[in-house]
Amino acid sequence: MNILLATDSDALLDEVEAAVAGTHLVSRVRNGVDVVPAINQVNPALVLLDLQIGNMGGIAACLAVRQREEMGDLDPRPVLLLLDRAVDTYLAQEARADGYLVKPLDAFTIMQTVDSLLTQEPSST
């Protein structure tokens, strides 16, 4: 399955790719503004958004995805936010993310969370 990762961190890309290697293909964008166009191109089963990316962070990108889903422009899909601090979980919930992980990340947690989100029924937004 395709996963879209929005991050400007090469280290984070490496972590995610290592965690899902052999199971999922990871496509990457470096800016939040590129998330919706990339979803249209790649049609990922899951979107992973780094909290701190460029001029449009993960929260704003998540909200943009949810808005486009509500408008009928995108099919619903799970969104996972990758947070910098535990206190940011409130922001992830407000952005209607399906899940979140707080950095630092480990491969097992990434793989387990990705697999869990991919086996859930899509939520209606």
Alpha-carbon distance 58 to 27, whole Å?
16
What the chain holds in terms of domains, given with CATH numbers, is 2-119 (3.40.50.2300)
For residue 35 the two structure tokens come to 């998330």
- Give the model's pLDDT for residue 125: 42
pTM attached to this predicted model? 0.92
Model confidence over 34-89: pLDDT tens digits?
A: 999 999 999 999 999 999 987 789 999 999 999 999 999 999 999 999 999 999 99
Model confidence over 82-118: pLDDT tens digits?
A: 999 999 999 999 999 999 999 999 999 999 999 999 9
Question: Are the C-beta atoms of residues 25 and 48 closer than 8 Å to each other?
Answer: no
Residue in this structure with the two tokens 């937004």, named with its chain if needed: 125
